[in-house]
Structure 1
């Protein structure tokens, strides 16, 4: 068992980890057996080594994924907050919590872990309790455009199977195909937006994190990105995305660490990105990676980009890079049912994301992407390369470019 990969234990050196493993007791449960009930005293710290478990709280049962079992209650000296049942035959390591607290190295690591957990919980609560800025007293969201300052943005250029991508596209959009390839492009964008606000009202600021799935598409003669899935961490972008732009936003939590980023939705880990380090890069190199990813000639595109950039500086034009984003906006009709959904609005919308300023661009060294759950788990996603950037961004107002409720010519 490698304790170095587990929060709390990873803060200990190798000798202390080895000593803890030597002290551990082993406990096994058959499928259906209960390890403890809600309200039982938390006198042992449990670590799941093998198997799957179900956790129950307030009448709701779900899979338990972290290896540490109910650590906050155990380390905090409180009764268990959950009931834990073995879903399959399971093996645990366990320690007397009283004996663990007598070890100075462990007690220091436990206090740090509790402090980090409290800070993380408070940050998450602040995001969820942040007020939504409405226009006047009508509870209507502000339509934009929006500014995003000092954004941390991860570009993960990926490949995926064709059929799952095709199935996501609404009528009128087609995949921007890479000739001769059996798989196609998918971009994962993991972002931290610390300072977002409507352009006309800088006082209405909000911050959040977000993971977005982008698919390169063609609409008539234009090329852009379609958004099938997007997971912000706060309610304001959910309201703005769904009511105005048509982004299919759903609450999720994107967590950033030094060399690790992860997305969880409904407390279920969906994907994680790890890397060994960062190598300084620049915008032309990022453009080349983008072109190679979607199947164009990256080197020529980067050269053309540099020439265009020189012309822009000579003519003193604004440093504004932009990309069109397409969304399928749907609003359920009053008469809609689960068996027969009907839509009061069914539209294809378009908006523009623009880069106002780059602060820093770095290429990730030895990036590793894992997709554990979610709607794209079976799309066989593989990572080509990844970049980390600091930048200022702009999102235009949206517009409807196709109304599926109106019969199209020739249809």
Structure 2
């Protein structure tokens, strides 16, 4: 009995650590574009994102129910200590992939890392039949394919529309002042949406753990109140830490982002995530945000998308499910072979991997102070205050002053020229007198 309780506590603790990595890994989804354009200062941006992630976690539990009572056939694992161990192995796979992609600055999907980890561990521990493939296909795979395309298309059209509307009012294409506040609002909406979707996934894992351990009824699909509070606070804390490496990738790595583009991308991301959360789709906010950034880049005339970077991100997307499933599968295999000792071995290996990745990241640390060094010039695109154009009288005065300054400068130049000529003539006369005296 004590071993089972210890295992449940260990799984819950690991779930919350995954929630923390999800927070700092996905901060970029909401705040990369407003930071890149100068609409928000980096630390202010992540503070706003943290607060709104906290609020968003309380607004919906549909995604939590998809995970706790959806992708895994719970009937095969009720009251099973092995199943709790497999959840533990699945979390190890998800956390390892999150940390690795964070080190590389790749905006991969924490959601798919979690799904891949759980699926890989359950398949190794039980069989292929323990997975509900219908739910995985409809609620995970198809949204992963459709959502970034949809978000990118919406961002493309919104960017085109925004530039078309503002062109006649602003002579500088990159200086659309009104979009600064629009970006702040839309990025805040994305942070709120991130809380409604991503925090739910950890709630679902903990709820599933409680159901398997017999601490919650299998018919009760709602997460307990303390679970909601714990997951909300943890993801908010992770968000405040800030995933500066990924912020730098999304802020400039895909395309040069201007205010109108940032507003369009964030609005598209928020609309897609909020609608998916309401339907219970376990969406990847990372994929949606990346698709929106690419769509906004294509929507601005003259803007170029860095397709090589986009390709790297795409490869990361494709590898997330199988890679996290492979890592968790190995962890599950160790547990199957060694029993309770396997959990201890997995714990040691996971801690070592996380520490090694963290220590490696310190060699070229990316913080709030240097994350935006590459996008500092983009901040010039936003002007907080715009001076009105001069009136006709002011323009006439300015022209008169310009003529007066030109006349004064012309007289000064003529005076200096005459003075120089006189000095040269005087020097010449002095030289002639010296020569004649020398001859005498």
Same-fold call, TM > 0.5? no
- Considering only CA atoms, is the larger Rg found in Structure 1 or Structure 2? 2
Question: What TM-score bracket applies, with the shorter chain setting the length?
Answer: under 0.3
TM-score (normalised: structure 1): 0.26
- Structure scoring higher RCO (CA < 8 A, sep ≥ 6) equals 2
TM-score (normalised: structure 2): 0.25
Larger helix share, 1 or 2: 2
